[in-house]
Structure 1
Amino acid sequence: MPDTACPIAGHLQQVTPDAASYQLTLVLTNTSGVRLVNAELHFSLAETLEAGEISGAELISRDGDLHRIRLPQLGPDDQLTLRLHSCKRKLRKATDCPYGYFLRTAEGQCHELDIQPGLLNWDLQPVPVSRPDSVQTLIPQPQALTLSEATTFACPTRIVWTPDQAELDDPTAWAQLFRRYAGPELTTTPDSNAAWPLTLEQQPDLPQGGYRLTIEAHGGQLTVADGAGIHAGLSSLVQWLAGHRVQPVVIEDAPRFDYRGLHIDTARHFVPIDELHDLLELCALYRLNRLHWHLTDDEAWRLDIRTYPTLTSIGAWRGPDRAMPPQMGTGAHTHGGFYSQDEVRALVRHAGALGIRVIPEIDLPGHARAMLRALPELQDPADQSRYLSVQSYDDNTLNPGVSATLTILKNILSEVVELFPDAPVHLGSDEVPAGVWTGSPQARARAEELGLAGVEQLHGWLLRELETWLRETHGRTISGWEEIIVDGMVSPLTAVYSWQGVEAGLAAAQQGYQVVLTPAQYCYLDLAWDPGFHEPGYYWAGTTDLAQAYQYEPLAGWEHTDAATRDRLQGLQACLWSELPDRPERRAYMLLPRLLAVAERAWSSAETRNLEDFRQRCLQHRWHWQQAGWHYRTPALGW
């Protein structure tokens, strides 16, 4: 158990930002008054170091990003200088420094050690803003917005759906969103007093997902072709009612792409269920209609599977004395959590009421360390394979040659499809390390039995087996990251999420696959805003400011493809990975306002693109975020 009375103090004496090397000096002082013997310093560091790259103490082991360092004996008030130095790594940002420090004594006590490289930008608080007088812009930009010459009117406090019109499946979800972001009460209860009536009209010849919204002093009318149009129209109404007064207007609009998504990683750091409900509302406000839920990874398994309770009793928690060690800065304290099946059902219902589909991701066969720790029967005990994943794990890949693998996966996925009744199943399939299964007798035997050219083809075979079973047994399709089409064994019904660049999506579409574009350099919102030292985030794919995200043109490079290829492009998705953003405020900082740029590129036509106009519209939306309690990057840092 961690003990808050840490017997040492520490500080960073020197941090040298350098694009070509890693140079950092750490000073520790024994403040306990007694001699410390056989103590260890533990910390997380994505740039994994080797023994010769630490001076002043001994590197005992690395486990993922967790480094264990044995300290020399320290008498009372003794100081120790540790130098981390490498010409093979780089230190450009504060988030490249070690983090999640803790001391482990010879008695096994763990003490959290607070060592910071300074105040990072995501911890800066935005300046409060006032409610605007009136609003005359929307995000995403609509196809047509015609302002009336009529005078403005006071923002209504109560909006009533006409009771003889078609209703939403659950109008309370939108009523909650209205209260949180705009203020007016939305109700279906008739009211003859001062309520502002909103009528709904069906017009089948409108574009799919499109709407026409007329806002006047005496009431509003929403004309739609389908349910998706209702949700889109309501999102525009919420935004338009942000001011003290309302400008009469006619808005005509329809989406550019059907798929407009946000991916949220809840494995690396646990995201509370209430925060996910808040994210659904944020998505609905900006007309995003998919939430891609990354539920499993090397660092945790977050979904309650009743057939295999150890997936969460073991796989959902990290800590110094647990089967899952600390990773990504979680340090001396136990970190984790999981989502009960009732919580999942409630989230899926809430999403549906807002016009959003939740897509579950069970990442396999790589990124499966938590699953393997929880279910050791999935391992071949004779496996002598040597490999290392991108995240420095040597034990994170399911073995398709083990007879239990397919059975256990089918049992798990049977529960998954019941919880997500109308969604494809995302099977991940990314970053399978080179060298897996090469030393596994069971894998070699399975590959030989199947007539495969080698054990590496077991990846594609496993995916094909699961795809066929999901389609024939549950009527579901699959999706995955761009590596899912390895060996071409999955069917063209598979949706491919291209992430390493813009080329992979086009190539997949030309091969006949459905495609969702999520190129890291434009859509990965865990990337840093800019190269500054105190600006948090990764930069392996560069940095992504608002202009970079907004100016992305999804169809660039597709101009000379045929219509059938272009039709396979379903849309765009922003991704928020959680290796670094470990709390709600930091996740929100990475999202806002860049998420709005991806939302507009997914909804609005290329012809409407105007960066400076978009920046100004984002500034007007700060009041929405403030009302809803969202943190965001202050524009003083640069948008």
Structure 2
Amino acid sequence: MQWAGLGMWVALTLSACTPTKREVGNLNVIPQPQEVVQNFQENPFVIHSGTKIVYPAGNEKLERTAEFLASYIKEATGLTVQCTTENKESDAIILSVDTAIKQKEGYRLEVTSNNIRLAGGSEAGVFYGIQTLHKSMPVTKDRESASAIPAGIVNDYPRFDYRGFMVDVGRHYFPVSYLKQIIDMLALHNINYFHWHLTEDQGWRIEIKKYPKLTEIGSTRPRTLMDWSTREYDETPHSGFYTQEEAKEIVKYAADRFITVIPEVDLPGHMMAALASYPELGCTGGPYEIPCEWGVFPDVLCGGNTKALEFAKDVLNEIMDIFPSPYIHIGGDECPKVRWKECPKCQAKIRELGLKDTPKHNKENRLQTYFMAEVGKVISERGRKMLGWDEMLEGGLAPGATVMSWTSPRGGIETVRLHHNAIMTPIQYLYFSNPTYNRIKGTKSLERVYTFEPVSDELTEEEKQYIIGAQGCIWTEWTRDSLKMEWQILPRMAALSEIQWTEPAHKDFDGFLNRLPALLAIYKDRGYDFRQDIYDVTIQVVPEEQEGKAKVFFLTFDNAEVHYTLDGSEPNAQSSLYTDTLHLDKDAVIQAIAVRPQGNSSISKEEIHFNAVTMKPATLNVEPHKSYTFQGGSTLTDGLYGDLNYRSGRWVGFYGNNPDITIDMQEPKEISSAFINTLLNPGDAIFGATGLKIEISDDGKVFREIASKKIPVLEKGTKMQIRKEEISFDKVKTRYVRIIAETTSKLPAWHSMPGKNAFLFVDEIGVE
């Protein structure tokens, strides 16, 4: 009776602990698989403590992958499941390699209520399949629910072979333990290359045994710039480097997750830490100091010094001993030629090689091509491929070089037309640490990444084959810790992963947003510090030009309840509930919050200011710069003003021509003044207007001038600001108004680029 009683107690206890309901996930995960067919007629596969993960005996990679899957199940559900090589057909997740699957990184996933079969074209394919299982598994830990995966079939493979992410440890050092967390993050997003930027002006981070001073001296700077505007410094020395054994540890940790580590030693520029350690490698011989500020510095490796070339080869040979990657990244970016133009050794080498200026490349740029080609020989002799930034195009590409196009997509286009492979990583879309783009909030920040297309329509079908992938980058000038790192990376890495993995025909931004909450649940469970503004309301304002009104929408990625105000007061759950599009025809301060069971979002705010031409049809009579066109003429009459971020979509940029805009007020009105709102950012060659002219017309064809004025060119020392340029005139009645602004014809002598064209940025025009 005692044993029977104990058995009954155990049964009751187990019954009390058994989940009373189940949560079913979704096979449509991020990145979106190429083909998903969910079978809602069949019961899902429910994970429980008796579930087994089966892998083939003797396959160490699949054994490790099975263990990863068991750890993911533990992470999501709190359950411990067993891995086994024993045949088991029910309550099992069965892993295998199937050579009939053509894509090596592809996989086929079949889920029934009885079991899950996951076959990959290789062990890597199986690994990506378990990532899909992981992300389709609801996080039910600490809940009274069982985690279930819906029945269905997934056929999947990656769009690109190269799916990369770069972390710069030169500006700020991050420990091995945290880099492992980053690698886990990459694995979650199906990223297969970890680009490790190891050397910088501000710090050398990898042990090179032949040159011990690189880490003895070059890994430490005395202080760090904290704020450009105030010149505030952190006086604490910043240091850190990775031993060769630690680097090998990272390589293995990544390889276990089917991620290849690409090392970068940036040559011949960004070498101040190396020059401070070995001053004889520079053109002047030093002395050199490790810079504590950010930027591009004139001192670089001496292009004509045989010792500098020998140094580069020695370093890369040790790097290749550590890293088995097929690619070795040698930088090649931002290498000023100021010292080379004055250096006797560089000029002697130029003469020895017979280098001359050409219409495309000056002789110093061609010297860099020679230097990189010599380094490239060492790389190719070891059976590796040379990888570098798109400045390598400036002197002509070295044989066999693969280019990472960062300055814009144009570099990649130029590269593939030379029949070299290119990886697209443009700053405008895929640099996650850029302060300008980080000011773009919420779903708009995600959309900017998601909508980037690496393969340009300009390319022929043959040329498109040379675009081998895409990569996101995190630079760490202003990134001092993991909190900032993750805030910058997530959830934009999710959008990046869908660029890299998913065929364009299967991509859909709204669908991406619908799939995002499941991934955010994993971020939360792992403790990632992702951007919380993803939960905020996106306020969209669209001109109704025929009505002269603003059409206002409120959007959230998860269709949360939205409450708003229009008078500038703070909204709360008792404020007006958004149910349908708003139509506004007067000034408004719009504020909105998303109300969810777990709490309210932060307040989103937008201001609309009306004048006589706001929300009226506007025609640009000249083409803006192609990178800053945004919504064209309607951007200038939408009542929305920009901030100091000229890439935000609020500003239209004109380069080398005068803004010329015609506005149809749609009926005759009396007017007596006009204005344009401009951005001044002299450092980025953005100058104000130097003149303003107003013309009017009754028919939109024949115009006459009614007012004009001249405006002085910006003076040296002018700070970044927004400036409104106004002009008044006698009252006149008209329907059409034409506003012409004069751009600074050439940058003045005091500027760093004298004689070049200036930009003029306009965010709004107005007539009263």
TM-score scaled by structure 2? 0.60
2:38 matched residue in structure 1: 147
Structure 1: distance between partners of 2:445 and 2:94: 39
Pick closer, same or farther for the CA change 1:238–1:304 going to 2, 3 Å.
Answer: same
1:174 matched residue in structure 2: 68
CA contact (8 A) 1:213 1:252 kept: yes
Structure 1 segment 424-503 matched on structure 2, within 5 A: 424-453=327-356, 454-472=363-381, 474-491=382-399, 493-503=400-410
Pick closer, same or farther for the CA change 1:382–1:319 going to 2, 3 Å.
Answer: closer
Where in structure 2 are there 5+ consecutive unaligned residues? 1-20, 140-146, 357-362, 538-556, 558-768
2:25 matched residue in structure 1: 135
2:504 matched residue in structure 1: 606
Matching residue's letter, 1:178: Y
Does residue 345 in structure 1 map to residue 248 in structure 2? yes
Structure 2: distance between partners of 1:524 and 1:392: 16
Pick closer, same or farther for the CA change 1:344–1:594 going to 2, 3 Å.
Answer: same
Q: Using the TM superposition, give the Cα deviation of residue 353 of structure 1 relative to its aligned residue in structure 2, in angstroms.
A: 1.3
Structure 1 segment 306-345 matched on structure 2, within 5 A: 306-320=209-223, 331-345=234-248
Structure 1 segment 49-128 matched on structure 2, within 5 A: none
Matching residue's letter, 2:493: L
1:237 matched residue in structure 2: 133
Structure 2: distance between partners of 1:356 and 1:153: 29
Structure 1 segment 236-635 matched on structure 2, within 5 A: 236-243=132-139, 244-320=147-223, 331-381=234-284, 391-453=294-356, 454-472=363-381, 474-491=382-399, 493-528=400-435, 532=439, 545-558=445-458, 560-563=459-462, 565-634=463-532, 635=534
1:210 matched residue in structure 2: 106
Deviation sequence 1:40-59 (CA, Å, 0-9, x none): xxxxxxxxxxxxxxxxxxxx
The farther-off stretch of 507-516 and 153-162 is: 153-162
Matching residue's letter, 1:604: T
Structure 2: distance between partners of 1:572 and 1:160: 34
CA contact (8 A) 1:180 1:628 kept: no
Pick closer, same or farther for the CA change 1:159–1:503 going to 2, 3 Å.
Answer: farther
Q: Using the TM superposition, give the Cα deviation of residue 392 of structure 1 relative to its aligned residue in structure 2, in angstroms.
A: 4.5
Matching residue's letter, 1:336: S
2:84 matched residue in structure 1: 189
Structure number with the bigger relative contact order (C-alpha 8 A, sep ≥ 6) is 1
Structure 1: distance between partners of 2:416 and 2:330: 19
Deviation sequence 1:549-606 (CA, Å, 0-9, x none): 1111222334x5132x111111110111111221101110111110111110111111
Deviation sequence 1:221-265 (CA, Å, 0-9, x none): 112222331221121121122342222221111111111111111
Structure 1: distance between partners of 2:63 and 2:302: 44
Matching residue's letter, 1:502: P
Structure 2: distance between partners of 1:352 and 1:384: 41
1:161 matched residue in structure 2: 54
Look up the SS of the partner of 1:462 in the other structure: helix
Q: Using the TM superposition, give the Cα deviation of residue 132 of structure 1 relative to its aligned residue in structure 2, in angstroms.
A: 9.5
Q: Using the TM superposition, give the Cα deviation of residue 488 of structure 1 relative to its aligned residue in structure 2, in angstroms.
A: 1.9
CA contact (8 A) 1:300 1:370 kept: yes
Dislocated runs of 4+, deviation >6 Å: 191-195, 327-330, 382-385
Matching residue's letter, 1:142: P
Deviation sequence 1:453-494 (CA, Å, 0-9, x none): 23442211100001112212x121101001123322501x21
Structure 1: distance between partners of 2:72 and 2:496: 23
Pick closer, same or farther for the CA change 1:490–1:337 going to 2, 3 Å.
Answer: same
TM-score scaled by structure 1? 0.71
Look up the SS of the partner of 2:138 in the other structure: coil
CA contact (8 A) 1:143 1:254 kept: yes
Q: Using the TM superposition, give the Cα deviation of residue 176 of structure 1 relative to its aligned residue in structure 2, in angstroms.
A: 7.6
Pick closer, same or farther for the CA change 1:444–1:530 going to 2, 3 Å.
Answer: closer
Structure 1: distance between partners of 2:296 and 2:93: 59
The farther-off stretch of 522-531 and 359-368 is: 522-531
CA contact (8 A) 1:177 1:281 kept: no
CA contact (8 A) 1:318 1:326 kept: no
Work out the percentage of aligned pairs sharing the same amino acid. 27
Q: Using the TM superposition, give the Cα deviation of residue 447 of structure 1 relative to its aligned residue in structure 2, in angstroms.
A: 1.6
CA contact (8 A) 1:264 1:293 kept: yes
Matching residue's letter, 1:235: Q
Q: Of the two, which has the highest radius of gyration? A: 2
Matching residue's letter, 1:636: Y
1:198 matched residue in structure 2: 94
Deviation sequence 1:8-46 (CA, Å, 0-9, x none): xxxxxxxxxxxxxxxxxxxxxxxxxxxxxxxxxxxxxxx
Structure 1: distance between partners of 2:377 and 2:22: 54
Superposed CA RMSD: 3.0
Q: Higher strand proportion, which one?
A: 2
Structure 2: distance between partners of 1:499 and 1:258: 19
Matching residue's letter, 1:145: V
Q: Using the TM superposition, give the Cα deviation of residue 513 of structure 1 relative to its aligned residue in structure 2, in angstroms.
A: 0.7
Matching residue's letter, 2:425: T
Pick closer, same or farther for the CA change 1:290–1:398 going to 2, 3 Å.
Answer: same
Aligned length: 492
Pick closer, same or farther for the CA change 1:218–1:528 going to 2, 3 Å.
Answer: farther
Structure 1: distance between partners of 2:30 and 2:185: 12
Pick closer, same or farther for the CA change 1:338–1:389 going to 2, 3 Å.
Answer: closer
CA contact (8 A) 2:208 2:214 kept: yes
Look up the SS of the partner of 1:585 in the other structure: helix
Look up the SS of the partner of 2:320 in the other structure: helix
Deviation sequence 1:310-343 (CA, Å, 0-9, x none): 11121111224xxxx6677761112121111111
CA contact (8 A) 1:399 1:437 kept: yes
